[in-house]
Amino acid sequence: MSESSKGASLGASPADGTALMSQHAAQTRIIVEAVEGAVSRSLDPIKADIREIKKDVRKLLIGLVTGFLILAGMVLTSYRWLSTDMLSASDRLSDRISALEKSTTRADQKLEDLIARLPPATTAIPQPPRK
């Protein structure tokens, strides 16, 4: 497309001086398109890097969430396991305590029977020493 046809397509007539302006506008448009193309080509590697970073961040977040879920599962499993062990230990302890209470009660009863069979002890009244 020639410059005169560009000016004519923009509605400018070569006779009134607007043709010069449309020539400048056409040149500016060409420069802008060239700059846009250069910027777009230079931004392509940056956009690719951003896509890679987004993928890496997603992988990192997925890894963190997976690790958290595994840790939460381990904590819950260990809690259940420990609570079961604690309950069984508590049951064994209460059985031992009740057995000790029975034996203590028997020992107390035997001591009371023994005390009842013994005659009361007579203790001598302490006398002051003679001079």
Q: Closest Cα partner for 48 from 36, 59, 58, 40? A: 40
Domain span holding position 42 = 3-116
State how many domains the chain has.
1
pLDDT tens-digit series, residues 93-105: 998 999 889 889 8
Once rounded to an integer, what is the mean pLDDT over residues 22-40? 89
CA distance 88 to 91: 5
Residue 23's pLDDT band (boundaries 50, 70, 90)? confident
This model's pTM is above 0.85:
no
